[in-house]
């Protein structure tokens, strides 16, 4: 399991979502054929978050990219040969995976029928300000959500203002808050 996925999940739990990381979607053989991946193993989703009061189900792809250039708009939108963003770039795949995910979660009693399903991208770094603008514009036009490093920062800041909880986000937030404060000099 990816640490960034755990952090994103922890932030969403603090926001009132039921969260599951690394959820496996059990596609049937006909569904695998429908998405042109007949021999594909189970489809794994980085983070799935559900808020019952809104009947909202978010599917979050996590890309920390903390020590790299960051997410580029071209790779997500489909202007490159990058294959990391399949759910964003392949509408048929997204439709089939989401349909099976909904059925799977309803059958196990985790969600109510007919949830509003939203595709999301959580990232620790976006390559350039131009990429950021293009991504925001594209996500709005698709009805998706972009959780960028500003969202992570603001979310951790809000968590740091609350009382301590034994969660990854709370621990990270408290450490971040402590390290951001000026420390007394020891002579």
Q: Please check whether residue 62 lies inside any domain of the structure.
A: yes
Q: Please check whether residue 157 lies inside any domain of the structure.
A: yes
pLDDT category at 12 given cuts 50, 70, 90 is very high
102 pLDDT above the threshold of 70: yes
174 pLDDT above the threshold of 70: no
Note down the domain range covering 9.
3-179
Instruction: Give percent above pLDDT 70 in the chain.
Output: 87
Number of domains making up the chain: 1
In this prediction, residue 78 carries a pLDDT of 86
Q: Please check whether residue 8 lies inside any domain of the structure.
A: yes
Which residues are bridge partners to 63 per DSSP?
123
| CATH code of the domain covering residue 140 | 3.40.1350.10
1 pLDDT above the threshold of 60: no
Segment 118-153, tens digit of pLDDT:
999 999 999 999 999 999 999 999 999 999 999 998
Q: Please check whether residue 186 lies inside any domain of the structure.
A: no
Q: Please check whether residue 60 lies inside any domain of the structure.
A: yes
Segment 40-79, tens digit of pLDDT:
888 999 999 999 999 999 999 999 998 889 999 999 998 8
Average pLDDT of the residues in 3-17: 92
Q: What is the mean pLDDT of the chain?
A: 89
Tokens describing residue 53: 């009061």
Q: Please check whether residue 137 lies inside any domain of the structure.
A: yes
Q: Please check whether residue 120 lies inside any domain of the structure.
A: yes
In this prediction, residue 108 carries a pLDDT of 96
In this prediction, residue 186 carries a pLDDT of 58
15 pLDDT above the threshold of 70: yes
Per-residue buried b or exposed e for 134-166, using 16+ beta carbons within 10 Å of the residue's own CB: bbeebbeeeebebbbbeebeebbeebbeeeeee
In this prediction, residue 158 carries a pLDDT of 83
Q: What share of the chain is helix, strand, coil (3-state, %, to 5)?
A: 45, 20, 35
Q: Please check whether residue 185 lies inside any domain of the structure.
A: no
Average pLDDT of the residues in 94-103: 97
Average pLDDT of the residues in 73-93: 90
In this prediction, residue 181 carries a pLDDT of 56
Distance of CA 33 to the CA centre of its chain: 26
């Amino acid at each position: 399991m990816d640490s960034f996925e755990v952090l994103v999940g922890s932030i969403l739990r603090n926001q009132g979502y039921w969260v599951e990381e690394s959820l496996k979607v059990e596609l049937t053989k006909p569904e695998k054929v429908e998405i042109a991946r007949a021999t594909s193993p189970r489809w794994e989703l980085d983070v799935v978050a559900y808020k019952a009061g809104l009947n909202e189900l978010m599917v979050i792809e996590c890309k920390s990219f903390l020590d790299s250039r960051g997410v580029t708009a071209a790779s997500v939108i489909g202007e490159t040969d990058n294959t990391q963003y399949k759910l964003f770039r392949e509408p048929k795949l997204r439709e089939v995976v989401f349909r099976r995910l909904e059925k799977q979660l309803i059958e196990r009693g985790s969600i109510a029928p007919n949830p509003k399903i939203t595709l999301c991208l959580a990232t620790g770094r976006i390559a350039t300000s131009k990429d950021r603008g293009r991504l925001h514009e594209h996500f709005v036009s698709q009805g998706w959500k972009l959780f960028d490093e500003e969202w992570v920062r603001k979310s951790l800041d809000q968590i740091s203002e609350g009382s301590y909880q034994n969660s990854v986000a709370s621990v990270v937030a408290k450490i971040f808050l402590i390290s951001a404060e000026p420390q007394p000099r020891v002579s």
